[in-house]
């Protein structure tokens, strides 16, 4: 991957989007029945635990999130294949606005909805999970096609890359190291913010996440550097 010029704001936008990703998972895990809507590793593990008969684990929420995330990834991948090469900025804006719209829809659906544990979800909880995971799948597919210097959902990979390319890991470091470190801190900060926003309500947290998606990628699309497609 060719390092981007320091004047390119994309890495900063990705740090912001990473924080947004971390907001939505506390909403899902703490408020929608102990599932994940952005980081899919947990859902796969929960499905395995449930299949083995672990006590207190129901597969419905994790299965809903995983299915919706996959559907969002398909939509995001096809959108990128159709638009990224010729209409790069429009593609980014369309992807961000679609993900934000889905998060707003999830936030509206969650108005007045109580927090729930795994054993007592109602269909509206599952709809909020599906809308949120759909948005995160679409956004994640966009980041992959973008060739992002910071993957906004593969946190383990970002951590390993940070270590591998550091002096401690035998690498040479580089300008992108601080963005990878900032991305990991953004996960912690976003998770803390999402947890605090849950005290206000599910809707508030999801609407803040929607605003974050549009602010992060919208600011990048508005910047002149976004006119230069990756690899151009």
Instruction: Write out pLDDT tens, residues 186-207.
Output: 888 888 999 999 999 999 999 9
Q: How confident is the model at residue 231 (pLDDT cuts 50, 70, 90)?
A: very low
The mean per-residue pLDDT over the stretch 138-154 comes to: 72
The mean per-residue pLDDT over the stretch 147-158 comes to: 61
List of residues 6+ apart from 232 with CB closer than 8 A: none
Contact status, residue 38 vs residue 17, Cβ threshold 8 Å: no
DSSP-based three-state secondary structure for 112:
coil
How crowded is residue 122: how many other Cβ atoms within 10 Å of its Cβ? Answer: 10
Q: Has residue 1 been placed in a domain?
A: no
Contact status, residue 127 vs residue 65, Cβ threshold 8 Å: no
Of the listed ranges 16-20, 117-121, 150-154, 192-196, the one predicted with least confidence: 150-154
Q: Has residue 103 been placed in a domain?
A: yes
Please report, rounded to a whole number, the percentage of residues in the chain having pLDDT higher than 70: 81
Q: Has residue 209 been placed in a domain?
A: yes
Q: Has residue 5 been placed in a domain?
A: no
Q: Has residue 105 been placed in a domain?
A: yes
* Number of domains the chain is built from: 1
Alpha carbon distance 39, 23 (integer Å): 11
Q: Has residue 81 been placed in a domain?
A: yes
Q: Has residue 232 been placed in a domain?
A: no
List of residues 6+ apart from 148 with CB closer than 8 A: 10, 14
Q: Which domain does 204 fall in, by range?
A: 10-227
**pTM (2 decimals)?**
0.84
Q: What is the pLDDT of residues 94-125, one digit of tens each?
A: 999 999 999 999 999 999 998 887 667 789 99
Q: Has residue 4 been placed in a domain?
A: no
Q: What is the pLDDT of residues 34-56, one digit of tens each?
A: 889 988 888 888 899 888 888 77
The distance in angstroms from the start CA to the end CA of the chain is 13
């Amino acid at each position: 991957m060719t390092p981007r010029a320091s004047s390119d704001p994309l890495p900063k936008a990705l740090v912001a989007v990473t924080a947004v990703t971390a907001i939505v998972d506390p909403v899902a895990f703490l408020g929608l029945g102990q599932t994940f809507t952005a980081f899919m590793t947990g859902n796969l593990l929960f499905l395995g635990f449930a299949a083995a008969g672990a006590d207190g684990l129901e597969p419905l929420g994790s299965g809903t999130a995983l299915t919706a995330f996959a559907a969002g990834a398909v939509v995001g991948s096809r959108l990128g294949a159709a638009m990224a090469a010729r209409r790069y900025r429009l593609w980014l804006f369309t992807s961000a606005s679609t993900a934000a719209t889905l998060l707003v829809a999830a936030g509206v659906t969650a108005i007045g909805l109580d927090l729930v544990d795994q054993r007592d979800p109602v269909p509206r909880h599952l709809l909020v999970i599906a809308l949120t995971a759909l948005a995160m799948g679409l956004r994640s597919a966009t980041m992959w096609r973008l060739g992002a210097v910071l993957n906004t959902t593969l946190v383990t990979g970002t951590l390993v890359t940070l270590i591998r390319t550091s002096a401690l890991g035998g690498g040479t470091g580089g300008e992108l190291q601080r963005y990878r470190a900032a991305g990991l801190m953004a996960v912690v900060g976003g998770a803390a913010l999402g947890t605090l926003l849950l005290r206000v309500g599910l809707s508030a947290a999801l609407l803040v996440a929607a605003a974050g998606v549009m602010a992060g990628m919208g600011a990048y699309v508005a910047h002149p550097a976004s006119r230069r497609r990756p690899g151009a």
